[in-house]
Amino acid sequence: MTPATNGASLPPTFVVIGHATRDLMPDGGWRLGGTVTFAALTAQRLGWLAGIVTSGPEDLLAALTETLPGVAIAAIPAQEATTFENRYTDRRRLQYLRGRAAPLTLDAVPLAWRAAPLVLLAPLAQEVAPAMAAGFPASLVAATPQGWLRRWAADGFVVPCPLGHAARALPHLGALILSREDVLAVPDASGGDDLLPTSAAEADARIAAWARLVPLVVVTAGADGAQLLRDGEPPRHFPASPVREVDPTGAGDVFAAAFLCHLRATGDPAAAVAYANQVAGLSIEREGTAGIPTREEIQAQFGAS
């Protein structure tokens, strides 16, 4: 299916591929979400020409266009939006997938966009074909793999799963950005016995194995900062910036985009992690996308980078 593309005058220099989402709210409404939303807006505020490859119905795409003016959007029309419902218990968050837009393959990416300097594969519900990682030979291709690491039951309940066939993307990536929680098992919501959780050590071992295939792996840990795994070296820890947390939604997506932008600009992975910690920290001091800082705000807070 041919994507519908809005009228941006120049091809983007930062392309994010994945589903924008409807995130259901307790009052029955919804708000726009998805890695593509936060990452593209971050790249734009850092001075990049951002573009999104996504899928969804007209009202979702209209909300995306309104929220991200100036961001190019190539979209596969769909009857459903990828829709998540979160329920909270005393123990943890339970997540359900209530709808899913169309799958995304390389055909969804306009030809003029395939030479973008930066490409971020950002699946949320197994929608991004792993083969896309090999489709951008002139680009720095990265992934936030959380959507390759989850599956859902007949009732929509979302649980982690192995990387499986998506592992074929790893040799084509320049960077992999994820949290340890992306690979940890969680209790079963069916009321039966809990699944045995994967230990932190087992999760770290799995991530270390991926780091043997991907040159740069960054593991985010919220207020605990981030770790950089590089070229078989011991993991290097970077503390988070002290902030006043208001809304952590999308902070990992902001981090990923800021890391890639700074990495491409400087060629220094360590500096890019430190910079991304700063940008993500600032982003959670206000609600939603309003918290994503501009270059000027970052410079005012931290000085020249």
Confidence of residue 86 (pLDDT cuts 50, 70, 90): confident
Helix (H/G/I), strand (E/B), else coil: 139: coil
pLDDT higher than threshold 50 for residue 197:
no
pLDDT higher than threshold 70 for residue 66:
yes
Confidence of residue 96 (pLDDT cuts 50, 70, 90): very high
In this prediction, residues 81-99 reach a mean pLDDT of 86
pLDDT at residue number 188: 47
pLDDT higher than threshold 90 for residue 185:
no
Mean pLDDT of the chain: 88
Under 8 Å between Cβ of 232 and 223: no
pLDDT higher than threshold 60 for residue 193:
no
pLDDT higher than threshold 60 for residue 2:
no
pLDDT higher than threshold 70 for residue 8:
no
Least confident of 26-30, 80-84, 89-93: 89-93
Q: What's the pLDDT tens digit per position in 99-119? A: 999 999 999 999 999 999 999
- pLDDT top residue among 296 and 124: 124
Angle between the N-to-C axes of helices 35-45 and 251-266, in degrees from 0 to 180, rounded to the nearest 10: 40
Confidence of residue 3 (pLDDT cuts 50, 70, 90): low
pLDDT higher than threshold 90 for residue 191:
no
Distance of CA 207 to the CA centre of its chain: 17
pLDDT at residue number 195: 38
Q: Beta strand 21-24 with 30-33: parallel, antiparallel or unpaired?
A: antiparallel
In this prediction, residues 16-26 reach a mean pLDDT of 95
pLDDT at residue number 23: 93
State the alpha helices, DSSP H only, in 87-149: none
pLDDT at residue number 81: 97
Confidence of residue 240 (pLDDT cuts 50, 70, 90): confident
pLDDT at residue number 198: 58
In this prediction, residues 177-197 reach a mean pLDDT of 60
Q: What's the pLDDT tens digit per position in 208-221? A: 999 999 999 999 98
Q: What's the pLDDT tens digit per position in 153-177? A: 999 999 888 898 999 999 999 999 9
Q: What DSSP character marks residue 192? A: S
In this prediction, residues 120-129 reach a mean pLDDT of 98
Residue 150: count of CB within 10 angstroms of its CB: 18
Percent of the chain with pLDDT over 90: 66
pLDDT at residue number 88: 74
- How is 240-302 classified by DSSP, letter by letter? PPP---S--TTHHHHHHHHHHHHHHHH--HHHHHHHHHHHHHHHTTSSGGGGPPPHHHHHHHH
